Amino acid sequence: MARSLIGGLVDADMAAGSISVSDPGTGVCEALHSDFGIHHAGSNGELLAGCDLVVMAVKPQQMKTVVSELAGQFQNKLLVSIAAGVLSNDLLAWTKQPDTAIVRCMPNTPALLKCGATGLFANHYVTEQQRQQAESVLAAVGDAAWVDSESQLDAITALSGSGPAYFFLLIESMIDAAQQMNLPKDLATRFAIQTALGAANMAQSSNLEPAQLRENVTSPAGTTEAALNSFSAANLSKIVQHAMQAAEHRAVELGIELGDKANG
């Protein structure tokens, strides 16, 4: 994700020299410096001292260690976390500064192609200027939008964070069904993906609601209606609702678990 963010920012004409990176694996930093011309900081402390916004692109289980090592050094800094499940109050506690400005983000994997969807939440100490800074960073890899409460990031997780997997599953199922209808796998794969891409582009570019676009494709007593009736009989809408509720519930659990383990 760090590589995607850096690439997006450079493509958006941010000066490469204004971006610094630090990583225990020197090979990672050297590759990023070679590819984008960014600065390679010698340590996390050196990086933090020279910036006003720091993106913590580390695994959730590593977050407490990384932030705690920098405790007391976040004065006038904006901490942006893209670690799933790590709550802003836990981050605040680990900084050892009661007024640290923190933005917590929930991106998704299409950000790797600059087609991401990222939800952002800011704690009370984030200024308007800092909000704009954080949004510009995440907008470099796709769409970015603010939520009013941190709990809404759990819903964002269920919608867009986990959402790509739902579409991959549908594509996979369509490929399998087409193969059972004697289409070769390569053609089934190609057309299933193209159909998903085309439908997404139509939904994004049209002023019509998805429901209306669906109705426009559906002729009375036609093939699409037959398929949709089968989906309805299987209660597809309720299945999707239950699946997303399960994802949201697990997101809540992860926030509790990660905080308990780190603070225990």
In order along its 264 residues, the chain shows pLDDT tens digits of 788 888 888 888 888 888 999 988 768 888 988 999 998 888 999 999 989 999 998 888 899 999 999 999 999 999 999 988 899 999 999 999 999 999 999 999 998 888 999 999 999 999 999 999 999 999 988 999 999 999 999 999 999 999 999 999 999 999 999 999 999 999 999 999 999 999 999 999 999 999 999 999 999 999 999 999 999 999 999 999 999 999 999 999 988 988 866 565
CATH superfamily ID and name for 163-252: ProC C-terminal domain-like (1.10.3730.10)
Cite the residue boundaries of each domain of the chain with CATH code 3.40.50.720: 2-148
Amino acid letter, 204: Q
Question: CA geometry: angle at 117 spanning 115 and 120, to 5°?
Answer: 140
For 100-116, the DSSP string reads: -EEEEEE--GGGGGT-E
CATH superfamily of 2-148: NAD(P)-binding Rossmann-like Domain (3.40.50.720)
- Helix 26-36, helix 2-11: angle, nearest 10: 20
What global pTM score does this model have? 0.88
